[in-house]
Amino acid sequence: MSTGSSVALTDAQREEYNPFLSMQKGFNTAADYLGLDEGLREVLRSPDRELTVYLPVMMDDGGVRVFTGYRVQHNFSRGPCKGGIRFAPDVNIDEVRALSAWMTWKCSVVDVPFGGGKGGVICDPREMSAGELERLTRRYTASIMDILGPDRDVPAPDMNTNEQTMAWIMDTYSMHVRNTTTAIVTGKPLAIGGSRGRTEATGRGVMISCREAMKKIGLRPEDTRVVVQGSGNVGGIGALLLYREGYKIISLSDMYGSVYREEGLDVPAVLAHLREHRRLEGYTDAEHRPNAGQLEVDCDLLVPAATENQITSENADRIKAKLIVEGANGPTTAKASEILHQRGVVIVPDILANAGGVTVSYFEWVQDRMGYFWTEEVVNSRLEQVMVKAFNEVYSTAEKYKVSLRTAAYILSIERVASVYHLRGIFA
């Protein structure tokens, strides 16, 4: 269920769908296992800094519109804040807070020296021209300049932003500081300091997480029916990589609907159609279905790779998958996660499963700082090493504490961040 619906929500639904509250529930459960004192819990739950900006932008018709933007820096005890910028009409401060905290735990799970940050602007990019989006991006960048920097906060693409958006941010920042600063963002075009393998990194990390989880629960790719929600850089690339590994992808979706083929989709053909027509509608070699109910299709592996709050207490009982690997951030609410865990469904949580993106973002930042760039083979090999190590550490933590992989990922990541506070102390 998407919270973007126009249907009025009950108070219980608002609480369940609030991503910041969901993040805090996961945090509190892990903190209990770790025995963290209340003072440190309060420090780790709270963002270090929040900035709200109002952005006047000249529109193509000559009028001016004022957009609202946010940047939340959750924690920079382990290094610069790291996290994407999303452009969407339903962006809100609680969502950005939650996403910035999840970035802290995600960076910690894969043990890269970043803290968590996240940004967002309330707008509908589908209704804006390229010129309007460029002016909005540059104004947003100029408005948050004081808290950005390669050693402070390094943005990246997220929902409805891309390489071009990052190029505009890099250029705006560089013009203000009077030198070309490629390490200010990641997810850039290769020509201006981007990393090979970055576009595919999140989807590749999802594929690696699926493979490692399948080993643990005894499934083989050739016997595994897969439903992938989403078809962008995470869902589409993840589906393609899984297809190449021999998995049977039976359903794939975009924001307008889904395609289904019981014998398995020809994923390269589906994605070629999507690139040409910008939507799945019109693809002929599959059954077309509405998005409602896609997550409940009978399958072995479910990859929700679209947006948050898709698996909730309302549909968790109808999920048929044995294994869920979260490609999106926060696709499963805390209540739904408990229901699925009680049913014996294995969930590889977002802060582990989709950490391939931030891992290769870290690689890009390192390459920019060195001025020396790696081959795609080196990037993919190092990503594989990081993701496999992180998965095994989370799995071992789950066995040690006898908890779900989600709780184990929180325990591992929070313990690492908490240890930094114990070593550094609280500045007074």
DSSP per position, 74-141: EE-SSSSEEEEEEEETT--HHHHHHHHHHHHHHHHHTT-S-EEEEEEEE--GGGS-HHHHHHHHHHHH
pLDDT of residue 125: 96
Catalytically active residues are 118
Please determine, looking at this structure, whether the domain spanning 47-180 carries the CATH number 1.20.1260.10. Answer: no
Looking at residue 7, its pLDDT comes to 60
- Mention every residue, 6+ apart, whose C-beta is less than 8 A from residue 158: 83, 84, 85, 86, 118, 119, 120
- DSSP, collapsed to helix, strand or coil, labels residue 153 as strand
Residue ranges of the chain whose pLDDT lies below 70: 1-7, 428
C-alpha atoms less than 13 angstroms from C-alpha of 257 in its C-beta half-sphere: 13
Residues of each domain in the chain carrying CATH 3.40.50.10860: 47-180
CATH 3.40.50.720 in the chain is located at 199-353
| Predicted pLDDT of residue 248 | 97
Nearest-10 Cα torsion for 70, 51, 332, 383: 90
If you classify domain 199-353 with CATH, what class do you get?
Answer: alpha beta
Q: Give pLDDT tens digits for 199-244.
A: 999 999 999 999 999 999 999 999 999 999 999 889 999 999 999 9
pTM over 0.85: yes
Cα–Cα distances in angstroms (integers) from residue 199 to residues 130, 170, 273, 362, 370, in the given order? 21, 17, 19, 13, 21
pLDDT at 12 (0 to 100): 83
pLDDT of residue 427: 73
